[in-house]
Amino acid sequence: MKIRKAVFPVAGLGTRFLPATKAMAKEMLPVVDKPIIQYAVEEALDAGIEQIIFVTGRGKKALEDHFDHSYELELSLRNKKKNDLLKQVEQLVPETGTIVYTRQNEPLGLGHAIWCARHIVGDEPFAVLLADDLIKTKQPVLSQMMQRFDRLRASIAAVMEVDKDQTDKYGILDADPIEDNVVRVRGMVEKPPPGEAPSNLAIIGRYILTPEIFHFLGKKKTGAGGEIQLTDAMEQLLKTQPIFGYKFEGTRFDCGDKAGFQMANIAFAMERPEIREKLLAFIRQVDQEQARN
Ligand code: G1P
């Protein structure tokens, strides 16, 4: 069965980036010149997703406008013959009807945000992308996962090994390796303190989920941080069907974290020939100046 729909929880308040996010959606913060959310939407569309489901909230209007035409801007770029820019802003608007919006009325957690999309997803397996996790790779991580899904026919979470003292930032798996880059999950726990974690294999924000997950999300049990956690619902789902972890190929940046966000900017900027040399020279200069002081 084809994965046609992808859910993007984008209702978060972005408190870690205040004051930048006081009047602006955190998903609109740019990595070089593209908002974080656009990287994730492009990844999904590249992987063949047909419907983008945004679970949004108050103050996210810019997000909706970003994926729509801006006639004034397009006209002005056309008049000024800025054809490359015009093409870019036109091309980022998916075909009408591709994006569907629903709202999460209360900030009750990631699990709750996904549950808000239940009627739009319906009774089919679907993807979840957390835009904060920006992954630099040749083949979109979601399409890497879809290839595994074709064979495994079960829920899959993208995973990577993290430092042992970082487990309290992630959903952590207890899992057995079954083949190259694939593990079978035995248990999972949301944000366990270092020392209590079953491993250092952490969930990164890409999932393929079977629709049965909605049953467990609907129980609205609160977990870590007093929130309704996706990891807890998956742990329940695991009692009724298998779940796998997939060690993806690519470099992941945590754009929900200030340092990770800056690293993403540097890594993506370094790929751009028009920025690379200037940036490298500047970083060396700053480094030397700081060493002197
Ligand atoms: C969420 C999930 C967590 C996962 C993480 C990946 O946490 O709850 O299981 O490991 O995303 O980025 P959050 O970062 O929203 O706190």
Together in a domain, 29 and 44: yes
User: How many C-alpha atoms does 60 have within 13 Å on its Cβ side?
Assistant: 23
Which residues in the chain land under pLDDT 50?
none
Provide the whole-model pTM. 0.94
Task: Return the SS3 of 9.
Answer: strand
- Domains in the chain: how many in total? 2
Cα 288 to averaged position of ligand 1 atoms, centre (Å): 37
Structural domain including 93 reads 5-256
Q: Tell me, yes or no, whether 103 and 92 share the same domain.
A: yes
Instruction: CATH number of the domain at 79, please.
Output: 3.90.550.10
- From residue 43, how far is each of 19, 108, 190, 240 by CA, in Å? 29, 27, 26, 30
Q: Are 272 and 184 part of one and the same domain?
A: no
Q: What is d(CA 20, CA 4) in angstroms, rounded to the nearest whole number?
A: 34
Residues 164 and 251 in one domain: yes
Q: Are residues 269 and 147 in the same domain?
A: no
Question: What b/e string do you get for 117-135 counting C-beta neighbours within 10 Å, with b at 16 or more?
Answer: bbeebeeebbbbbbbbbbb
Beta-carbon-side half-sphere exposure of residue 134 (alpha carbons within 13 Å)? 26
Per-residue confidence (pLDDT) for residue 238, from 0 to 100: 97
Shared-domain flag, residues 217 and 74: yes
pLDDT of residue 181: 95
DSSP 193: P
Same structural domain for residues 277 and 190?
no
Say if ligand 1 is within 6 A of residue 160 CB.
Answer: no
H runs (alpha helix) in the chain: 36-46, 61-66, 71-79, 83-91, 110-115, 118-121, 141-152, 213-217, 230-237, 258-270, 273-292
Residues 247 and 272 in one domain: no
Place of tokens 């609907």: 218
On whether both 279 and 182 belong to a single domain, the answer is: no
Kindly state the helix (H) or strand (E) to which residue 2 belongs, with its residue range: none
State in Å: Cα 196 to ligand 1 middle.
17
Task: Say whether both 248 and 283 belong to one domain.
Answer: no
pLDDT per residue over 10-48, tens digit each? 998 888 999 998 888 999 999 999 999 999 999 999 999
| 155 and 239 fall within a common domain | yes
Pick the residue whose CA is nearest to atom 7 on ligand 1: 170
